[in-house]
Amino acid sequence: MSDPVITLSSIRKSYQDIPVLDIPHLSLGHGIYWLKGENGAGKTTCMKVMAGLLPFKGDIIINGTVNSLGQPVAYRRLINYAEAEPLYPAFLTGKDLVNLYLNTKGGDGRSMQEIQSVLGVDNFVNNPVSSYSSGMLKKLSLMLAFSGNPAIILLDEPLITIDTRTVATLYELINQYHSRGVTFCITSHQPLDPAKVTINGTLTIHNRNITLN
């Protein structure tokens, strides 16, 4: 395996004293990974822990140097997350969120404009989020996941609520960014098309731990 892009050590996460994750060690090199598990196994919780959005016990390091606990701002600039069912403040527009992500994540505004166009977000980006359908929210969330200069992009059920054209575009974006060195971790109850994307490893959550195959 190549040098680790992300390493999880002694990760423990509980909800009201009920353990959800107990991962002694997991290292992932550059690649595209499919995170699998039964409903309630902890897939989304794992992604939110990796994204630095939930408190947990343990340690996560990106690129061997950036620590989630000791360098939280630098860490979050290197890892992006798109939720399965995204929610945003209703009064904001998509453009407000794009500008927020550009300010916090950095990166090239022109690249964001290109992704905005290919995903069709530019058709509604100036409208308030309260007017968005679930599909529009999903497109916005996916676009924001490609903002900045991430080392890792986490996609939680990215294939739901989007049309077939957007699915094809998403596969293209994943392949483009992977070729530039970005690692992906994807959950999906729908099978990922092997003709569209090459999975480098399968991560399985079982009994609160993750195994890599």
For residues 94 and 126, is the Cβ–Cβ distance under 8 A? yes
Look at residues 95, 102, 101, 142 and name the one whose alpha carbon lies nearest to residue 118: 142
47-71 per-position pLDDT tens digit:
999 999 999 999 999 999 999 999 9
192 alpha-carbon distance from chain centroid: 16
pLDDT (0 to 100) of residue 1: 55
What is the model's pLDDT at position 107? Answer: 80
pLDDT digits (tens, 9 = 90+) for 30-43: 999 999 988 888 99
Mean pLDDT to the nearest integer, 111-132: 94
Q: State the Cα–Cα distance between residues 14 and 22, nearest whole angstrom.
A: 9
Judge whether residue 44 has pLDDT over 70.
yes
pLDDT of residue 207: 93
Q: Please say if the pLDDT value at position 135 is more than 60.
A: yes
Model pLDDT for residues 66-98, shown as the tens digit of each residue: 999 999 999 999 999 999 999 999 999 999 999
Q: Six-digit token pair at 156?
A: 């939680």
**Cα–Cα distance, 195 to 213 (Å, whole number):** 20
Domains of the chain: 6-212 (3.40.50.300)
Question: How far is Cα 45 from Cα 13, in angstroms, rounded to an integer?
Answer: 8
Reported as a single tens digit per residue, the pLDDT across 154-200 is 999 999 999 999 999 999 999 999 999 999 999 998 889 999 999 99
The tens digit of pLDDT for each residue in 188-205 reads 988 899 999 999 999 999
pTM: 0.95
